[in-house]
Amino acid sequence: MQFALRTGLSIPLGDATGASGDEQRERYSVQVPFMFDIGAKFWPNVYIGGYMGAGIGGEGASDRVEELCEDNDGNGENDIQCSAYTLRIGVEARYYFAPAASIDPWVSYGIGFEAAAQSIDDHPRARKEETTVTGIEFARLGAGFDWRASRVFGFGPLFEIAAGQYMRTRTEVNGVETFDDSIEDRATHAWVTIGMRGVFFP
């Protein structure tokens, strides 16, 4: 078995939907992802396993959201708190070019499900609005290398680009669903991640 943890910075690119002006960066800012991998090498060069994780960041750059999120009175508990997060789970294959060497370059491909949410918690008005989109991450492409510090642990840099489409959107206000429907005008978005990976039993 092989286990890995990865983190870094994820940058949103592309469009959330095909609607005019509905870009990823309008909804979400840069996020810090925390990903967990578990799987096995079925051959010396080939790893197959699953991944799951979450990303945490701030609100996007849309005028409406920025206006709301900057409308604070500076009194701690009465401020409007804005945040965004992503969740993802899927399967992934990784090819190692030098499985017997101390420095082992690799490339990977994954596919899975994803969800992204934007939350606006308006304490002065006792109103919390959260909009969540879900869809398919049809291509998670990665590259990097592992430096084996020992037989048990290795680490190294990584670069990933995850492309997908959101297929459904849901909005809740104070925990009550106000909207839930499929996205008809879909578009392709991506998250580009630069980070580090620590791997157990490389």
- The pLDDT value recorded for residue 186 is 95
Q: Is it true that domain 2-200 has CATH number 3.40.50.10190?
A: no
Stretch 85-113: mean pLDDT: 97
- The pLDDT value recorded for residue 151 is 87
CA–CA dist 80, 47 (Å, integer): 45
State whether residue 64 is helix, strand or coil: helix
- The pLDDT value recorded for residue 123 is 76
Stretch 177-188: mean pLDDT: 91
- The pLDDT value recorded for residue 81 is 83
- The pLDDT value recorded for residue 76 is 52
Per-residue pLDDT for 143 more than 60? yes
Terminal C-alpha separation, the chain? 9
Which residue in 172, 162, 153, 181 sits closest to 55, CA to CA?
162
Stretch 80-89: mean pLDDT: 92
pLDDT in tens, 15-52: 999 998 899 999 999 999 999 999 999 999 999 999 99
pLDDT in tens, 154-181: 999 999 999 999 999 999 998 888 888 9
pLDDT in tens, 108-138: 999 999 999 998 887 777 888 899 999 999 9
Alpha helix segments (H runs only) across 109-192:
none
Per-residue pLDDT for 56 more than 70? yes
Per-residue pLDDT for 94 more than 60? yes
pLDDT in tens, 65-83: 777 676 555 555 557 888 8
CA–CA dist 164, 122 (Å, integer): 31
Global pTM reads 0.90
Going from N- to C-terminal start, the domains of the chain cover 2-200
